[in-house]
Amino acid sequence: METLREGMLWDWETFPEWMNTLDRIPKGVNCLSYVPLAPLMTYVMGLDNAKSRSSTPDELAEMQRLMREALSVGACGWSARRMGTDGLQNDYDGTPMVTDTMSDHDAFAFADILGEKREGFIQITQATGDGPADFKVEEQLAEQRGKHRAEVMIDLSIETDLQGTFLTKSVTCVNADDIEEILASPYVFPGVSDGGAHTKFLTTGSFTTDTIAWLVRDEARMTLEQAHYKLSYLPAHAAGFQDRGFLREGAPVVYELDRLAQLPSWNDSEVVHDLPGGEWRRIQRAQGYRWIVVNGEITFENDVCTNATPGRLLRHGQG
């Protein structure tokens, strides 16, 4: 919480005000902003109501009005998660998050606004069933100590003075055949993000380096041109960016394919204390990039950050 207090500007309440604040914050990359449904529903309905029931006609009309207002000032669409009552991540009090139990009626009503304006897109995490968890190490220790694995994890936390960490297997697919089949669809491009929500647990911004190094160089499942199309032009087109995402003939090569790598590996992720207030996070660094150029300015040179902040807020696809 202290990091949020120190690192965020709290001079806004409405979405248009937030966009104006985001516009003037120094940025190293270009960005756009979704309308997050959980704060929107809480703002209009109140937290308890938003968690316990569908919206009334008046509440829904007001939320749709605010959605239209947000799109008019450059929101790119809306985002939400619908994980049901048994989601893996619950609210501070153990109850589901606001949108976890959002009704289909309300979800479609928000989608109708995008259809009405013929712009914007939806980012949604939808529960589809429970996958098997991997607790092999904990189960082995539990058997050795004669305890339940949850008790073992608590014991280990105490024994390490709360400095111990528990890393799970990667949550992404590592089967090149499956990924090749998925990416063959003209409607799919690689990407993953949690909006920085899990900085102490994982890093999710390495998919671009991973796609080129793994699927192009190591597995030869796609050409370099196909990878650039999937990673650059197609996402730019989907997001409504104008005059962005092209790799033009004659443009300089900005990375060395044989050197591309994510450092360190997942199991050895680096911990740095660089968040506001001295808080810590996990990071991975990219290797093999000669330059990263944003709006004509170099932000990374030979894998080293230049601290330049030429990024812009892209409203309606333009900065």
Residue linked to tokens 């647990």: 201
pLDDT at 257: 78
Beta strands in the chain (DSSP E): 35-36, 77-82, 121-126, 261-263, 270-272, 281-283, 285-287, 291-294, 297-301, 304-305
235/228 Cα distance (integer angstroms):
10
Give the mean pLDDT of the chain.
Answer: 85
Total Cβ atoms within 10 A of residue 218: 11
Maximum average pLDDT range among 70-74, 269-273, 311-315: 70-74
Provide the pLDDT confidence category of residue 94 given band limits of 50, 70 and 90.
confident
263 pLDDT tier (thresholds 50, 70, 90): confident
pTM score > 0.85 for this model? Answer: no
pLDDT confidence of 151, banded at 50, 70, 90?
Answer: confident
At which residue do the structure tokens 């569908």 appear? 54
Amino acid found at 199:
T
pLDDT over 80 at 130, yes or no: no
**pLDDT at res. 254:** 63
Q: Which of 31-45, 188-202, 237-251, 277-291 has the highest mean pLDDT?
A: 31-45
Q: State yes or no: pLDDT of 217 exceeds 90.
A: yes
16 compared with 160, residue with greater pLDDT: 16
